[in-house]
Structure 1
Amino acid sequence: MKYFRVDLITATPNPQRCIYVGMHQDYSESFVGENRINWPDEKKAGEICVKRLLAGERGHYGPMEHVQIVFNIGWFPHSVMQQARTHRIGVSFDVQSMRYTGNRINQVAKGLLDIEEVFYLRPIGHYVDRKGRRYNYTQTQRNIDLQYCEQAAKRYYDLIEDGFAEEHARGILPFDYRQHFIVSFTLRGLLHFLDLRSKRDAQLEIRELCRLIWPHLENWAPEFAAWYQQKRLYKARLAP
């Protein structure tokens, strides 16, 4: 969807080897750090970990907490942040507060930024609510909503100009203003997040977030990603 973005900030190098070492120390008599020459390469380590930790639904996810990946996520609506932070998923967030970051609202009010770069509205089309009721979101309705967003931005600007605090003025904004945030996942946390939010009946926008995260997971931990895609993706089976 327009403007949505996921950039990789950093990630544990050789994550599958790291997980392998954690797993291996569990049952190794020796101090495994002294035998690095005998560690398998990244691909082989991933294959071993999948076989010993995950295959057969063993659910031994603990060693997957040793590795971490960090994303900068941009232009997603506030509702996605609310969903993303729900449930215990083992992540850390830093999010635009709208107490210090409201200048983009003023820029919309002045006509310097496109309304849809700052406020999110769903695409026109057919939708189904949680109870299975179908409805159509038309271009005419969407144009009305765009006008409302613009009016809210102008009211926000007026309040700021009148000396109101940002945390006061933000209260009149449409719920789904866009936000940027940093999020860090352990591999275990990331797979659990995908269990929760990539399923077919998850909300549209957070499924798009999962879709944009997925290539980064494939590049970072390919053997884990391949197993997950085959066994768990879209199946809404919650991680242990």
Structure 2
Amino acid sequence: MPELTLAPESTVQLPKQYITAEDVRGAIEHTLLKPEASVVDVENLCQEASRHGFPLVCINPQHVSHAAAVLAESDTNVCTVIGFPFGATSPDALAYEVMELAAKGAREIDMVVPVGSMVEDDVWTVYSHVARVVRTAKSLVPRPQIKVIVETSALQFDQVIKAALVSVAAGADFIKTSTGFHKGGAMLADVSAMAMVAGSTARVKASGGVRTPSAAVQMLRYGAHRLGTSSGVKLVRK
């Protein structure tokens, strides 16, 4: 495993002074990951995302093909999840999911780290899972971006930083706070710390509990580049 270091001082993310409504709109991944989500629900999500100019929808793997077809003529892409929501999946299974879902139209894929391993500070297992997914993604055309969910509310603060370091070292494009299925969601302290770790090498997705325009602005101010939320329309409605 490569040596883990913080980003150089020049790349540390400082709070941004001004966040515009378009900044918020351009960061939203319009999300529907409830197990009871129907095809009609997913179609409605896609139509809302396209109508409001959101860059992505984030949906369960079952609906990737259909969502990609619905959004084919729009500027909105499809994101999906693997190893979700517990991360208790083998690297081989994760790699297969990446290949299958990319072929079906997923342009970004959010994976969950093996949370139990991170709780035990088993950084090697976490690294091996992320690295396997990243290697698989790099072999595909077009190459899906990989976002790594560290499930911050299940970890101590130092473990959040370790998980972020390991994910960036393994080649993740994004590090992400939460699945939305654990007891807590995105916290400013975690987002800020993850942004410092990511530096200019990766980016941060804040997810879980981002339900108000003020919360969205704060997450972006403190280093998030994306917002995973089921409240996307509410965040941009005037």
What is the TM-score of this pair, normalised by structure 1?
0.23
Give the TM-score taking structure 2 as reference length.
0.23
Identify which of structures 1 and 2 has the higher relative contact order when contacts are C-alpha pairs closer than 8 Å and 6+ apart. Answer: 1
Q: Report which of the two has the higher share of helix.
A: 1
